[in-house]
């Protein structure tokens, strides 16, 4: 089942759950609207990979918002954002943990022959397609910087 079909089915289930499914329903509707808007912009159906990109972007937006709400001391809004992140994360592929990312980073550094932090861009451009949708870009960047500093 495609990701778009899964979102549609889950939206129907959330509608049937009435009160219990309200947050889930609104979150899924928001994502489906983002997917539909991108399809309208591109004037074609999105591929599975593009739908995953939309989902990852939505999760990232919520993480960023959550951080800002936390700085402002709005715990109620932080919890709402975290709940939406949990709902959306169910549609993303299994996320890489820090040790898996570190291993990939070391491999890519060796592949491209990077030896200093000046080559961060070269490492990141080779690494990001491998971790796309499976890891947060900020975390990857931090790990790459740390590994390049050891060189």
* Number of domains the chain contains: 2
Task: Work out the average pLDDT over 18-34.
Answer: 90
Burial 19-58 (b: 16+ CB within 10 A, else e): eebeebbebbeebbebbeebbeeeeeebeeebbbbbbbeb
- Asked if 139 and 116 sit in the same domain, the reply is yes
Task: Kindly state the tokens that stand for 38.
Answer: 């991108």
- Asked if 24 and 69 sit in the same domain, the reply is yes
Which range has highest mean pLDDT (12-21, 32-41, 100-109, 134-143)? 32-41
- Asked if 51 and 109 sit in the same domain, the reply is no
Q: Which domain holds residue 17?
A: 3-89
Query: pLDDT, tens digit, for every residue of 38-81?
Result: 999 999 999 998 999 899 899 999 999 999 999 999 999 999 99
C-alpha 115, offset from chain centre: 29
- Asked if 82 and 129 sit in the same domain, the reply is no
């Amino acid at each position: 089942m495609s990701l778009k079909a899964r979102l549609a089915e889950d939206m129907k289930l959330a509608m049937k759950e009435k009160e219990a499914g309200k947050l889930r329903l609104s979150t899924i509707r928001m994502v489906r609207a983002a997917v539909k808007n991108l399809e309208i912009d591109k004037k074609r159906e999105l591929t599975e990979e593009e739908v995953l990109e939309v989902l990852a972007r939505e999760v990232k937006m919520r993480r960023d918002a959550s951080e800002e709400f936390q700085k402002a001391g709005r715990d109620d809004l932080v919890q709402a954002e975290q709940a939406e992140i949990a709902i959306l994360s169910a549609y993303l592929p299994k996320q890489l943990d820090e040790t898996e990312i570190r291993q990939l980073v070391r491999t890519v550094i060796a592949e491209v022959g990077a030896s200093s932090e000046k080559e961060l861009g070269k490492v990141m451009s080779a690494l990001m397609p491998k971790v796309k949708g499976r890891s947060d870009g900020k975390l990857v960047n931090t790990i790459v910087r740390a590994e390049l500093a050891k060189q």
